[in-house]
Amino acid sequence: MEEPVKHRLKRQLRRLTPERPYQLAAASAAVLVLATGAGALAVGGDEDSISPVPVTAASEAGSDLADSGPEAVAVNAAPPSAEPSTAEPSTAEPSAEPLSAEPSAPTADPDLTEEAAPEPPTSKVLEYDYQAQINFYYCGPAAVRNALSATGVARTQDELAGPLGTDQFGTDSAEDTTRVLNAEVAGEPYQTRMISGGSATPAQMDQLQADVVKAISEDRSVVVNIAGSATDTAGGWHSFPGGHYVAVVGYDDDGRLVQIADSANPATSSYWMTTIALANWAATRGYSA
């Protein structure tokens, strides 16, 4: 039964030979499908045989395919494989490793941290070159000259009298001594502290003590403009009703005591006094520290 079918198909192919090439190709494909289907029917239902392909479109090849363009040949193209993917699913376990934590701020190395400024000494006395004033109104130039000698600056009283504005009435105020000291000492470290009123307040006493300790710790003498009378720690009495200038060249007991360099009398060129007494002595005037 298979042979007659094949002969019949050959005759159909010979009749289609004069047709256009693309029609022949389409018809040939249709005939091939028919032959395959016929052969499969003749053989029987074998599981290893090729399954019959639907030929609905191919069966109308005689009319529809003759008017189709070359694209019609693709009618019988095999569809994309629907076979399931044989790729093995990933067996990689999700990482159980915890996310790295933010790095903590580095701990400051105590050996590398900046050291705090050292505490000033309890007591300190400067080395200075004392000189008594050369006339009765040169106490200002003499006190500034003695103070500058503690910083290594050498000036004569006459050299300082002009810049200080000193005349036979003396030197006007602590503002003048501050200005001249800053002109001679690098960095202009001096500032003026005025003590108004007839006596110093506790705050002004504390300020004077702090200023003296700071200046002398930095190897600078303090110049004080005083007026009136005061008693030193040894009981000596010092009186300057019209005003006077002295240099502070040392301190003791954390600044509660101060050492005075006084140019008025070479016999009592130096003495100690409480800071409270010196603050009251400078009342109505002031100092350069």
Of 76, 91, 116, which residue is a domain's last? 76
pLDDT in tens, 163-182: 999 999 999 999 999 999 99
**Apex 127 CA angle, 124 and 132, nearest 5:** 120
Residue 145's pLDDT band (boundaries 50, 70, 90)?
very high
For residues 107-131, average pLDDT: 80
Q: What is the model's pLDDT at position 59?
A: 38
Task: For the chain, give the mean pLDDT.
Answer: 76
Residue 117's pLDDT band (boundaries 50, 70, 90)?
confident
Query: Is the domain of 65 the same as that of 135?
Result: no
Question: Does the residue 92 lie in any domain?
Answer: no
Question: Does the residue 134 lie in any domain?
Answer: yes
Query: Is the domain of 69 the same as that of 160?
Result: no
Query: Is the domain of 153 the same as that of 38?
Result: no
Question: Does the residue 97 lie in any domain?
Answer: no
Going by C-alpha positions, the residue among 289, 288, 259, 287 that lies closest to residue 195 is: 287
Query: Is the domain of 164 the same as that of 246?
Result: yes
Query: Is the domain of 144 the same as that of 15?
Result: no
For residues 142-159, average pLDDT: 98
Q: What is the model's pLDDT at position 207?
A: 98
Query: Is the domain of 148 the same as that of 254?
Result: yes
Of 76, 111, 137, which residue is a domain's last? 76
| CATH code: domain of residue 261 | 3.90.70.30
Q: What is the model's pLDDT at position 114?
A: 59
Number of structural domains (the chain) is 2
Question: Does the residue 215 lie in any domain?
Answer: yes
Query: Is the domain of 189 the same as that of 128?
Result: yes
Residue 65's pLDDT band (boundaries 50, 70, 90)?
very low
Residue 102's pLDDT band (boundaries 50, 70, 90)?
low
- Quick one: residue 248, left, alpha or beta (phi over 0 = left, psi -120 to 50 = alpha)? beta
Query: Is the domain of 135 the same as that of 239?
Result: yes
Q: With beta carbons less than 8 A apart as the criterion, state whether 166 and 140 touch.
A: yes
Query: In 10 A of CB 230, how many CB atoms?
Result: 22
Query: Is the domain of 276 the same as that of 150?
Result: yes
Query: Is the domain of 250 the same as that of 134?
Result: yes
Q: What is the model's pLDDT at position 17?
A: 46
For residues 26-50, average pLDDT: 39
Question: Does the residue 247 lie in any domain?
Answer: yes
Range of the domain at 193: 124-288
Compute φ and ψ for 178, nearest 5 degrees: -65, -45
What does pTM read for this prediction?
A: 0.62
Query: Is the domain of 213 the same as that of 283?
Result: yes
Whether 284 has a pLDDT exceeding 60, the answer reads: yes
Question: Does the residue 102 lie in any domain?
Answer: no
Question: Does the residue 90 lie in any domain?
Answer: no
